[in-house]
Amino acid sequence: MTINIGSAIPEVTVQRLQSGVENINTRDLFENRRIVLFGVPGAFTPTCSERHLPGYVEHFAEFRRRGVDVACMSVNDPFVMQAWARSLSVPDELMMLADGNAEFARALGLEIDASAYGMGTRCRRFALLSDHGVIRQLEVEAPGEYRVSSAEHMLTLLD
């Protein structure tokens, strides 16, 4: 079942790579801050690399000025997420979260079967605003779309 506005962020472990692989509890990560989390079907895929992540990089400072952190999640391993971040000059403060086994995507109810494309279980394209661990905005794209999960759209939803 897909999470809804007013739902708590589910508790699972995701990873990121900094000085080594870091395991991150999602409840702890989202608990005491405002975060826009956007999910993409895959690192280095066309729309994700040409538009989605670059939009958040471009507008990152504006999110921070509004007191909002930004995190990107994909069903990839932390090494791929780090390489993708480096290839697009992602600021270190923009969190690149690896959901290697799609546990977070499943817990959110936002997993998709991309087996027809050789990609297995992936994450739907989405963006959400979490305020202290509670979802305040949720935008899930229709298949093949890229509009409502963009950085530009999410900025219009911030108070």
2 located within any domain: no
pLDDT reading at 122 higher than 70:
yes
Question: For residue 24, what are its two tokens?
Answer: 């991150």
5 located within any domain: no
pLDDT reading at 115 higher than 90:
no
Question: For residue 28, what are its two tokens?
Answer: 């702890």
4 located within any domain: no
Q: What is the pLDDT of residue 97?
A: 98
Question: For residue 71, what are its two tokens?
Answer: 């995190």
pLDDT reading at 51 higher than 80:
yes
45 located within any domain: yes
107 located within any domain: yes
pLDDT reading at 1 higher than 80:
no
State mean pLDDT over 37-42. Answer: 96
Domain span holding position 142: 13-157
Q: What is the pLDDT of residue 33?
A: 97
Cα within 13 Å of Cα(147), Cβ side: 5
112 located within any domain: yes
pLDDT tens digits, residue range 83-111?
A: 999 999 999 999 999 999 999 999 999 99
19 located within any domain: yes
Tell me which residue of 129, 159, 127, 128 sits closest to 146, measured CA to CA. Answer: 127
8 located within any domain: no
Indicate the pairing of strand 69-74 with strand 13-17. unpaired
The least confident of 65-79, 86-100, 104-118, 143-157 is 104-118
Tell me which residue of 99, 77, 76, 95 sits closest to 85, measured CA to CA. Answer: 95
The pLDDT mean for the chain works out to: 95
pLDDT reading at 26 higher than 70:
yes
State mean pLDDT over 72-80. Answer: 97
Give the residue numbers annotated as catalytic, written as ranges: 48
**Domain of residue 112, CATH code:** 3.40.30.10
Q: What is the pLDDT of residue 18?
A: 85
Number of domains in the chain: 1
Q: What is the pLDDT of residue 159?
A: 67
